[in-house]
Every structure is written in structure tokens, then in C-alpha cells.
Structure 1
């Protein structure tokens, strides 16, 4: 019995060692982002492969633009909608994460009661989805730059590690600059400059408050829920909300 326990233990240790070695070998050079602009991201490559697999022509419209040439209105609108405490946290907004957990537990209880499976003494709450509002700009950037679309604990763990090193190696201004240049704003449209030219036929530097809020309203789901071609009324409703909160965002750089 002891022999097989020892074999199992050593096998487990070996597997962990192999996994850690793999993680170290494949760990991205985050420090390079201080001076190098990413030409692509994991999410962009996923969209390209997705288009190819579906027999569609892959699209990639992306124009890198320094943050000082992107309207401050867009800086404020994006932070108002995605991460109002961006300048206050170290990559993780624990208050938002706690709220996401509480909301998930309440939702889980409601569904369990509706299905008749709720037992307050035995019921185990679900893991929260950590949807928009719980993920900070830095976390979203880590996911877009380096991770797959899979949803599991391993990916969430990698996201946390990458988030930590992004905050450690880059200034807040640089994090926001990279974010604004790589996020998705429609089918094959990436970054503020491409989005501004596509939707408003102007440079990102010239966006008005209303236009900035409109673009920021799309971010949670630019291909579906907040796609202005599919659900313009939803985008406009969220735009109005963001316009109310934009002025409360103080840019600290």
C-alpha cells in the first residue's frame, strides 16, 4: 500500500513540475509592452481562425494610435463603463468581485428554489460568472492579449497572474493605451482609431462626448448584445448611462 501511495505522490509531483515548466516556458514577455506595441492578440487570432473555420473572409482593421491622440472623452467613457476604480486598484477590484459573487449566489438560490432543488443546509452556491463589472480593464487586457476563450479555473488563474505582472511592469497610462488599441469594436474592428473611423468617419482624437460614450457602450458585446446594427436602442440606452458618469472619472496621469 505504501509503495503505491509513494508512486502516486511522485507521479503527482512530476506532473506539477512538468506543468510549471510549461507555464514558465510559455510565459509572455510582458515587460516588452513598455516599449513594443502588440501587432495582434490572442483574441484577434481567435476571431481570424473562427472566420476561416466558418468559411468567411477574415477581417482585421487596426490602426495603432498613441493614447495622447485618442480623445480624453473616450478614456473617461471607457473607464466609466468598464472600470471606474481603475486608478485606485492594483489590477483587481475586490469590491466588484465580491458583488459578482453575491449576485451569483442570489441567482443560484433563485434558480434552485424555482427547480425545487434548494436545501439551505446542503446547497452549494455556484461559482460566479465574473461578468462585466467584476473584470477590471487590466484583467480584460490580460485575457485579450494572451488567453483563449475557454472559461475554466486554469484560464482564470493565468489571467490573475498576467494581470499582476501587467500592473507591475506597466504604468496605468500604458495599460489603458494598449487596451484602447486592441479591444474589439465590431467584426474585424480593433482599437479606438479603427472604431472611430468606421462608425464616425473621423480620427479618434476628434471624438465628441456623445460619440465616445456610444463607442464605450458597445464594449461588453460589440458583435451581439451591443452591436449597433442589431440592437441600436440598447447601445443608445447604455450610452445615456455612461454620459451621466463620465465626468466623475478623473484621469490620473
Structure 2
């Protein structure tokens, strides 16, 4: 019995130390830019299994050097209540749960921009209740340490936009040959729509769904409120 208690205590202490490490990194990133993320490193390792010399396409740019068109499009497509919620959009999660239950499979995630950033920075793409719980903890850490603009700036620079393509600047140059500052509303909306499945859309750019959803986001962008 004592051995079990000691093991449990050790696990609790390890959990606390891991959370402290995560929070220390988040505090550092309030004023310093992350050079990579857990998700980037994981995907690069997969790519290098067939291309040993592969490098990721990524280039950090400041918040004011990213088109407001892209910011508005992402909020319209991914997280309409980004400015208002505390990191978790409970209503969106409930709607996603109901939709998934009706379909009998996961068709909607309901994750906010902050949740997506938490996952990208620290976690893997695997789905489990434990990972989701950790995602919630990191999400609240991000919201406690950073303002919305900083959260969005990091997100825009680290989110995946294709096979080995990360961040708004690399995506803009990969798909359109221009900088992220010069994206038109239609170009921005198309990039935003790609986010849930970027590697698929990287090789299926003529998707009819992609075009239909892009047209919808263009119409919604005007109501998006930026941080």
C-alpha cells in the first residue's frame, strides 16, 4: 500500500513539474518567438523518413505584417468568438459534440484558436481524453499569460498549412508567391478554409468544397472582430 502511495505521489509531482515547465515556456514566449513546436518536430521526423534532408518551410513575421484579411478569415472560419471567450468556447464544443453524435463520427472539433495553439506548441496529434485534458490546462495557461493579439500572432506563425509548410508567410509564398501582408480577401479565405486539413488541400487544390467554403468565408469576414 505504501509503495502504491509513493508511486501516485511521484506521478503527481511529475505532473506538476511538467505543468510548471510548460508555463515557464509560455511566459518566455510572451516576449520571445518560439523557433519550433512539438507538432512541427513530429511532422518533420515523419517527412525525413522518406526525405532525410527535408526542411520545413517557415518564416516568422510580426502581427502587423500579416494581412487583416487573413486574420478576419481565420476568425470567421475557425473561432468566431475568439475575442470573447476565455480559451474554451463551451457553446461551440457542445454543438460539435451534438453534430458528431448525430453523424456517428468526428466531423467537427469545436476547438478554439487558443486550443489549437496549445496542441501545436506542446502536444501530439493523437486523440485521447488525457491529451484533451492537458490541452485544456495549457489553453488556460496561454490565456492567463498572454493577451489575445499575442496568442493570435504565435498561432498565425506556427499553424500547419501544408506538408512541411508552417505559418502565414510560408503559406502565402507557397500557394500564391506573395507575402502574407498582401493577401486578398479571397486568397485569405481560401487559406483559412484549408486549416482543418491542410495536407489534403495542398494536393487537392481544385476541391469543390474548398471553393464553396471559401466563398462563404469571404461573405462572413466582414463581421470578424480582431484582437
C-alpha separation in 2, matches of 1:204 and 1:100: 31
Q: Which residue of 1 aligns with 2:91?
A: 95
Aligned residues: 223
Superposed, 1:1-253 pairs within 5 Å as: 7=1, 10-26=2-18, 27-28=21-22, 29-55=25-51, 57-108=53-104, 129=106, 131-132=108-109, 134-224=110-200, 226-227=201-202, 229=204, 231-251=206-226, 253=227
Q: CA deviation at 1:167?
A: 0.4
Q: CA deviation at 1:82?
A: 0.5
C-alpha separation in 2, matches of 1:77 and 1:16: 46
Q: Which runs of 5+ in 1 are unaligned?
A: 1-6, 109-127
Q: CA deviation at 1:130?
A: 8.0
C-alpha separation in 1, matches of 2:76 and 2:190: 12
**Cα-Cα RMSD:** 1.8
Q: CA deviation at 1:36?
A: 0.9
Q: Which runs of 5+ in 2 are unaligned?
A: none
Moved more, 193-202 or 56-65: 56-65
Give the secondary structure class of the aligned counterpart of 2:197: coil
CA contact (8 A) 2:99 2:107 kept: no
> Structure 2 length normalisation: TM-score?
0.91
Give the secondary structure class of the aligned counterpart of 1:53: coil
